[in-house]
Amino acid sequence: MFAAFFNSFKVKELRTRIFFVAGVIVLCRIAATIPCPGVDPHALQLYVTELSESSGAGGGVFGLFNLFSGGALQKFAVATLGIMPYISASIIMTLLTPVLPALEKLQRQGDVGRQKINQYMRYLTVLICIVQGAMAATAMINPARLGLKAPPQDLVMVPHTYFIIMTIIILTAGTMLLVWLGEQITKHGIGQGISLIITVNIVARLPQAVGTLYEMAQSGGGITNANFKGVHVLILLLIFVVVTAATILITQGQRRVPIQKATKAVGSKSRGGNTTYLPLKINHAGVMPIIFASAILSFFDMFIRWFPYTQKYAVHFGYGSVGYMITFGSLIIIFSYFWVANQFNPIQIADNLKREGAYVPGIRPGQPTAKFLDYTMTRITLAGSIFLATLALFPMFLYKLMGIPPLVAAFFGGTSLLIIVGVLLDTISQLESHLVMRNYDGFMKKGRVRGRRK
């Protein structure tokens, strides 16, 4: 495997692409460290430290956004909003495309239609940035509006109206810059640019998580556990290996439906008659159900904290609470089926097989094949959704049972681990394709690395 990495730098085109990606990643990390004008960095750092030491900090309203921004939110940097507005816009457009005939018509037009949809997606991203930027600026002026503890001193040093307008412009520009850089990675680099930026931002939080775990082992206590020792660190490492291996298996896992192609006589020769398979992924929805559920619960949490008369109910939906975990797990299972229903079309697949003269052995072509595929996909989606719910809830169990801070527990499952595993598999798969195409060995002696989109 290490030889494959060294071989990647022997190919000039591949080496150029790798260095280009590295340069863009550096720019993204710089954007995550430059604070917005008008904010007192020292007061903000003290306030964030005080919040992080309190129970549950970092796991509720700001957890998902701070994770995807690589810690930029706690610094209120230029890239505070990160890629989340673009992700939200892409989710909205994906859900609206099957519903609105105009968007569905554009999607059927090929590249021209997809470019038009992408343009609408960028406009929607700007709109979401304006709304979220205004909310972020208002929260910096008065954190108590979100039910947070009031800071010991003002975090904003300029007039509030001017600060809100300036912050909206800067945060919107920062997000659109990240979106553009992600598109450049996809075009001139290796891997999917937006996903790589998210992955890098998540991994950027790893040193802080390791430092927190080390301090816990030295002091002998976590948030709720006063007997945390070095042996617990070894247990956590073993758990991390097992969970990561299970995540890779479920990401790569698929149900192979056998497909038989009918024999055709062409002159004096016969063609076809070979057997192939149709791969149905166990985790067909990927990380999207977790992102859906996290976004809905985050906005709901912000909503009930925003109004004084509803803040008393926030404790029932706080990070790690019973109500939060039950709602979170249920939403993940529901959204898994919802996403599969929008992305997987058994009728179209059955029609394509019938048109090509292929069929599932023992199943009649046409409508019976569509019903069989729908039934099969429903069963494996149940297994995949239960695994997703378990993986997403596992960090919360670590937080409640062992007192592991949310920052550390996030790397033992949930959105972060799924994104890291999926994106790394995609990137390695593309690297391997370049190497094999140039007669170099891949990363595995037997078989090929499969990306999550394959």
Q: Residue 298: name the closest of 192, 160, 139, 96 by CA.
A: 139
pLDDT of residue 294: 76
Query: For the chain, what percentages of helix, strand and coil (3-state, to nearest 5) are there?
Result: 70, 5, 25
- Digitized pLDDT (tens) for each residue of the chain, 454 residues in all: 566 667 777 778 888 888 999 999 999 889 888 888 888 888 887 777 666 555 444 445 555 666 667 777 778 889 888 888 888 888 888 778 878 888 888 877 878 888 888 899 999 999 999 998 898 888 888 877 666 677 777 888 888 899 999 999 999 999 999 999 998 998 888 888 888 888 888 888 888 888 877 777 777 665 445 566 667 778 888 888 888 888 888 888 888 888 888 766 555 555 556 788 888 888 888 877 887 787 777 767 666 766 666 666 666 666 677 888 888 889 889 988 988 887 788 888 888 888 888 888 888 888 999 999 999 999 999 988 998 888 888 888 887 777 777 778 878 777 778 888 888 888 888 887 777 776 665 555 555 555 555 4
Cα–Cα distance list, 430 to 443, 445, 448 (Å): 11, 17, 11
pLDDT of residue 228: 66
pLDDT of residue 55: 43
SS3 38: coil
Distance in angstroms (rounded) separating the CA atoms of residues 315 and 297: 13
Residue type, 299: F
Instruction: Take residue 406 and report the two structure tokens written for it.
Output: 């949310």
Distance in angstroms (rounded) separating the CA atoms of residues 129 and 172: 5
pLDDT of residue 65: 65
Q: How many CB atoms lie within 10 A of CB 418?
A: 23
- CA dihedral (374, 376, 380, 385) in degrees, to 10, reads 20
On whether the CB atoms of residues 442 and 432 are closer than 8 A, the answer is: yes
Instruction: Take residue 266 and report the two structure tokens written for it.
Output: 């062409």
Q: How many CB atoms lie within 10 A of CB 119?
A: 10
DSSP secondary structure string for all residues of 384-426:
HHHHHHHHHHHHHHHHHHS---HHHHGGGSHHHHHHHHHHHHH
Domains and CATH numbers, the chain: 1-204 (1.10.3370.10), 229-412 (1.10.3370.10)
Distance in angstroms (rounded) separating the CA atoms of residues 344 and 281: 11
pLDDT of residue 454: 46
Distance in angstroms (rounded) separating the CA atoms of residues 68 and 387: 22
pLDDT of residue 269: 59
DSSP secondary structure string for all residues of 131-180:
HHHHHHHHHHH-GGGGTPPPPSS-SB-S-HHHHHHHHHHHHHHHHHHHHH
pTM for this entry: 0.77
Instruction: Take residue 148 and report the two structure tokens written for it.
Output: 């947070």
Q: Residue 122: name the closest of 161, 92, 148, 164 by CA.
A: 92
Q: Is 191 left (phi over 0), alpha (psi -120 to 50) or beta?
A: left
Name the DSSP class of 77: B
Q: Residue 376: name the closest of 259, 275, 249, 292 by CA.
A: 259
Residue type, 231: V
Q: Is 369 left (phi over 0), alpha (psi -120 to 50) or beta?
A: alpha
pLDDT of residue 221: 60
